[in-house]
Amino acid sequence: MVMKKFLVFIVSILLCINCLADISKADKVKINIILAEQADAQELIRMAEAFPTKAERREFVINTLKRQAADAQAGLIEELNILEANGLVEEIRPLWLVNSVSCYANEEAVSAISQRKDILAVYQCEEFQCIEDVSVMSSERGDGREIAENIVKVNADQVWALGYTGENVLVALIDTGARLDHADLQGRLWDGGAEYPNHGYDFYQHDNDPSDTHGHGTHVAGTIVGTGVSGTQTGVAPGATLMVLKVFHGEDNLSEVTMWVEAMQFAVEHGADVMNMSLGQPLPDSSVKHMLRQACDNTLAAGVVAAVCAGNSRQIQMLAPVPYNIWSPGDCPPPHLHEDQMVNAGGTSCVICVGAVNNNDVLGDFSSEGPATWSGVAPYNDYPYSSGGSTNIGLIRPDVCAPGVNVKSLDFNTTNGYCLKSGTSMATPCVAGTIALMLSKDHELTPEQIDEILERTAVPLSAHKSNDFGSGRIDALAAVNAVGDDGVEEIDNEDITVYPNPVNDIVMIETHGRASLQNVIIYDVNGRKVLSTSESKIDISDIPSGIYMMKIELSDGIFYKKIIKE
């Protein structure tokens, strides 16, 4: 029965539902206009590194993106305003996280806009049912001492004993909203002040009421911050703060991706440290994929990480075959590239993609299967995939997995109840909560560091990073313990000399007799290996100018050094 309902749901996804329109928009459709000029996220990252703190880097990136968008959109906005005055366009909404503008336009306006030379793409926004739970069951309230099984499985309760509960970490919930009066969310909701009095915003209705009318978001919220006052501790990070950003319409949970990007932009601008996106679009066209990838690239540049579900399409590969089984934006690349990815490396983004296992670490039969590919999606055209190939392996998805089968969390039908749900949507907030625990130990962690630690400390469920489990099932305790500890012996700066730095052509390594040099690997800012050698005199004349990380392996330890190639 569950399988039959699931197939009906997927077919409804793939058919899609056209944009709803009121009478005033009867002759208009919602479109998104992507400008040709887009930010180079990697260049933004390089420039932002000049600032000493994450907050300063974020401010620089936001201001740069806003300035670029305002300049590039000026002519387009002027034309749209004229079209609006003539009744051809409505509801003009500029974005800066991706340099784009959405509006409702009639056929004449779309034709006129499409002629502009500064436009990369114009596409019609289509709403669709883009999240659904694999299964839902009611659950009894605990006795006040109960800790949900998924929490114990990832050792989050042992992290609380160390004093880390997610305090001072802001998590943006981009979902169906949340039941704001649920007892287990009280004291954990973002204070948006007079401008946002209800702890967030509704990007579908464009109002200040992000209340859940579906239930999905409330359950996800409980896995992130649920306090357990109603009887069961469901939150991985019960000390974190939740910003509620609603991007779905009512019980039918319709949405489209420009709303997601608006919510991501809001989260970045209003100080979110991590986003939870238990949502996705199956089989998006190239324009939608470009929109989401650019948003995720620029979110990474701003220093914000996102936990994103892989999707629930594993069982319907006749409709969504590999390498298109992962939902977008879960198919965007991670902040840090695992060594198993280096045979087919590409760009990076803010996305940590999450698959689902049960509490025995058995893969959920619904959990979408990687790899993904960005071949044919300009301007990226990376992560090529050939079935059975040893080099064109695509983008390994997911990055990690977490418990996502029969997860107990908050029931939105009551103010103090619980229910069980399954899906990669349920696994994703377990990862977001774990990130919040890590950030409560060190708030300056970058998305790259967070991703690397999560993957390095995960419980391996396959020989290599795989398209089923990623690097393995997360372990919150191991991840938090790894924060500030690279797992190798610390080596003092005075024991190793790397010179000159900055360097033009030849860089030298001097160990001062401390230990013998074994190997040197140089990585770029995307985590891609650009050089490997066992020599202490290294010619880097062929490497482009920029900032690199040098990993120096000695016989008794490992040393990391940042170098600048002029």
pLDDT of residue 24: 53
Identify the band that residue 230 occupies on the pLDDT scale cut at 50, 70 and 90. Answer: very high
pLDDT above 60 for 19: no
Taken in order 419, 422, 425, 428, is the CA torsion positive or negative? positive
> Could you tell me the two tokens for 330?
């879960």
Angle at 175 between CA 220 and CA 204, to 5 degrees: 155
Mean pLDDT of 417-432: 97
pLDDT of residue 546: 78
Number of neighbouring beta carbons within 10 Å of residue 483: 18
**Any idea what the CATH number is for the domain that residue 67 is in?**
3.30.70
Distance CA 404, CA 406 (A): 7
Identify the band that residue 21 occupies on the pLDDT scale cut at 50, 70 and 90. Answer: very low
CA count, 13 A, side-chain hemisphere, 291: 29
Can you tell me which residue has the tokens 């309760």? Answer: 157
pLDDT above 70 for 134: no
Same domain, 281 and 356: yes
Distance CA 498, CA 563 (A): 8
Is residue 488 situated within a structural domain? no
Please give the residue that has the higher pLDDT: either 186 or 562: 186
Is residue 1 situated within a structural domain? no
For a pLDDT cut of 70, what percent of the chain falls above it? 89
Number of neighbouring beta carbons within 10 Å of residue 411: 24
pLDDT of residue 143: 64
Distance CA 528, CA 348 (A): 10
Same domain, 458 and 362: yes
Contact 147, 420 (CB under 8 A): no
Same domain, 108 and 251: no
pLDDT of residue 525: 56
- Tell which of 452, 482, 512 closes a domain: 482
Is residue 359 situated within a structural domain? yes
pLDDT of residue 523: 76
Q: 497: Cβ–Cβ under 8 A, 6 or more apart, which residues?
A: 508, 509, 510, 512
Same domain, 102 and 228: no
Same domain, 281 and 379: yes
pLDDT of residue 492: 45
For a pLDDT cut of 90, what percent of the chain falls above it? 78
pLDDT above 60 for 437: yes
- Tell which of 102, 126, 150 closes a domain: 126
Contact 446, 274 (CB under 8 A): no
pLDDT above 80 for 73: yes
Q: Give the residue from 154, 140, 124, 41 showing the smallest Cα distance to 401.
A: 154
Strands (E), 300-428: 305-309, 351-357, 400-403, 407-411, 417-422
Look up residue 542 and give its DSSP letter.
T
Average pLDDT of the chain is 90
Q: Tell me the per-residue pLDDT of 457-499, one tens digit each, with 9 for 90 and over.
A: 999 999 999 999 999 999 999 999 999 864 434 344 456 888 9
Distance CA 244, CA 350 (A): 19
Listing DSSP states for 140-176 in one string gives: ----SSEE-HHHHHTTHHHHHHTT-S-TT-EEEEEES
Contact 540, 505 (CB under 8 A): yes
Among the listed ranges 4-18, 293-307, 364-378, 403-417, which one has the minimum average pLDDT value? 4-18
pLDDT of residue 25: 65
Among the listed ranges 69-73, 128-132, 390-394, 450-454, which one has the minimum average pLDDT value? 128-132
Identify the band that residue 530 occupies on the pLDDT scale cut at 50, 70 and 90. Answer: confident
Is residue 11 situated within a structural domain? no
pLDDT of residue 565: 85
Q: Tell me the per-residue pLDDT of 289-343, one tens digit each, with 9 for 90 and over.
A: 999 999 999 999 999 999 999 999 999 999 999 999 999 999 999 999 999 999 9
Same domain, 115 and 260: no
Mean pLDDT of 498-513: 88
pLDDT of residue 529: 74
pLDDT of residue 551: 80
pLDDT of residue 518: 87
**Any idea what the CATH number is for the domain that residue 476 is in?**
3.40.50.200
Domain that holds residue 114: 18-126
Mean pLDDT of 418-435: 97
pLDDT above 70 for 506: yes
Distance CA 463, CA 534 (A): 27
> Could you tell me the two tokens for 315?
């069982």
Contact 295, 329 (CB under 8 A): yes
pLDDT of residue 7: 39
Cα separation of the two ends of the chain: 63
Mean pLDDT of 553-565: 77
Please give the residue that has the higher pLDDT: either 556 or 362: 362
Distance CA 304, CA 450 (A): 10
Look up residue 134 and give its DSSP letter.
S
* Count of the separate structural domains present in the chain: 3
**Any idea what the CATH number is for the domain that residue 521 is in?**
2.60.40.3080
Can you tell me which residue has the tokens 């992507």? Answer: 34
Q: 69: Cβ–Cβ under 8 A, 6 or more apart, which residues?
A: 35, 94, 95, 96, 99
Same domain, 281 and 205: yes
Contact 499, 488 (CB under 8 A): no
pLDDT of residue 495: 66
Mean pLDDT of 264-291: 97
Among the listed ranges 110-119, 127-136, 165-174, 213-222, which one has the minimum average pLDDT value? 127-136
| pTM of the entire predicted model | 0.83
